[in-house]
């Protein structure tokens, strides 16, 4: 199981510093979100040639505000700029964001994703498309610099999303999804769907908040506060409920260095391919957490 970093950066210089540090520490991949701060793909293209030897992933680019032809252009341009080290993570986002902030209709999300992938995947592989979907239409081709298609990871949580992802994409990246759910739902569902579709085994990346600390109660309070939104958004709430957890603080991996290391090792048994740690806490706790993640490399 690969150990990766999930970082939250507020500027391109900060991103470059954090990415270089992770690369020098031996991490093979680094994921960064696409929320309301800097544009992740643009930032990667800007700094990628200055930080070699580490893959960069988006976790995740929302599909509704970006037509798949436009995303294919941007992703392939970024892939060319960073010498083929892009992991393209995409996701539906959430109804309150899509409708409340962007003024778009969050309708038929499964159908939307199916249409989206039917356009995006061929374009990434230098193929023309002529697809008229119920939700998204794409016709034409793009002429970006020739480069290898980046693997596409869908933020798939529920059964329908996992099956569709297994049939059409290269893997999934999860968040707020616990160990039991990964073992009983995520891994078997996406792998079975890929096998039935005659596709190779999908890659499964699981993201968790992590904090090495001597004060578990304070860390739990911090997790409850910092990650509170994930206990409210329906898709993440469903994952927490499925795991029997009250909130994000119950899913976060919190404890001593040995306790955190053992919990991460136990998650490997679910069959995931990569554990992506999102470090939180005080500066000292983040440093201690990074030391444990480094100890688990290889």
Quote the pLDDT of residue 131.
97
Q: Number of folded domains in the chain?
A: 2
Residue 284: the pLDDT is 98
Same domain, 239 and 296: yes
What is the phi/psi pair of residue 250, to 5°?
A: -80, -25
Q: Give residue 298's pLDDT.
A: 74
User: What is the structure's pLDDT at 100?
Assistant: 95
Determine the pLDDT at residue 198.
98
CATH code for the domain in which residue 189 is found: 3.20.20.30
Q: Are residues 91 and 188 in the same domain?
A: no
d(CA 2, CA 54): 13
pLDDT in tens, 116-174: 999 999 999 989 999 999 999 999 999 998 999 999 999 999 999 999 999 999 999 99
- What are the start-end ranges of the H helices in 169-274? 179-181, 187-196, 216-226, 234-243, 248-251, 257-268
- CA-to-CA separations, 124 to 65, 148, 211, in angstroms, rounded: 19, 8, 37
10, 17, 19, 47, 293 from 43: Cα distances, Å: 11, 12, 11, 6, 25
| Residue 245 and residue 142 in contact, taking contact as beta carbons nearer than 8 Å | no
**Does one domain contain both 15 and 151?**
yes
**What pLDDT is attached to residue 85?**
98
- Confidence at residue 211, expressed as pLDDT on a 0 to 100 scale: 98
Burial of 146 (0-12, 13-18, 19+ CB in 10 A): exposed
For residues 197 and 248, membership in a common domain is answered with yes
Q: Which residues pair with 87 in a beta bridge?
A: 57
Helices of type H across 93-233: 95-100, 109-124, 159-168, 179-181, 187-196, 216-226
Cβ atoms < 10 Å from Cβ of 120: 27
Decide which of 106, 138, 155 is a domain's last residue: 155
**Residue 93: predicted pLDDT:** 95
Identify the segments of the chain with pLDDT beneath 50. Answer: none
């Amino acid at each position: 199981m690969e150990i990766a970093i999930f970082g939250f950066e507020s500027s391109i210089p900060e991103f470059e510093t954090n990415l270089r540090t992770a690369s020098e520490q031996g991490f093979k991949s680094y994921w960064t979100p696409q929320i309301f701060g800097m544009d992740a793909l643009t930032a990667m293209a800007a700094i990628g040639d200055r930080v070699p030897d580490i893959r960069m992933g988006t976790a995740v680019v929302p599909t509704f505000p970006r037509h798949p032809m436009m995303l294919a252009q941007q992703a392939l341009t970024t892939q060319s700029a960073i010498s083929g080290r892009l992991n393209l993570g995409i996701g539906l986002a959430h109804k309150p964001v899509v409708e409340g902030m962007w003024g778009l209709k969050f309708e038929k999300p499964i159908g939307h994703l199916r249409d989206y992938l039917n356009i995006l995947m061929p374009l990434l592989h230098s193929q023309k498309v002529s697809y008229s979907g119920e939700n998204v239409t794409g016709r034409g081709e793009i002429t970006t610099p020739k480069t290898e298609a980046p693997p596409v990871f869908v933020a798939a949580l529920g059964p329908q999303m996992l099956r569709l992802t297994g049939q059409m994409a290269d893997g999934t990246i999860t968040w707020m999804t616990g160990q039991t759910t990964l073992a009983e739902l995520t891994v078997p569902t996406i792998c079975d769907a890929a096998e039935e579709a005659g596709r190779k085994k999908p890659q499964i990346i699981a993201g968790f908040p992590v904090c090495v600390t001597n004060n578990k109660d304070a860390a739990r309070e911090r997790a409850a506060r910092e990650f509170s939104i994930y206990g409210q958004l329906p898709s993440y709430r469903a994952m927490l409920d499925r795991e029997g957890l009250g909130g994000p603080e119950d899913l976060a991996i919190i404890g001593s260095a040995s306790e955190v290391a053992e919990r991460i090792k136990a998650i490997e048994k679910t069959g995931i391919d990569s554990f992506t740690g999102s470090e939180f806490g005080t500066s000292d706790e983040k440093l201690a957490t990074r030391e444990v993640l480094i100890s688990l490399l290889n």
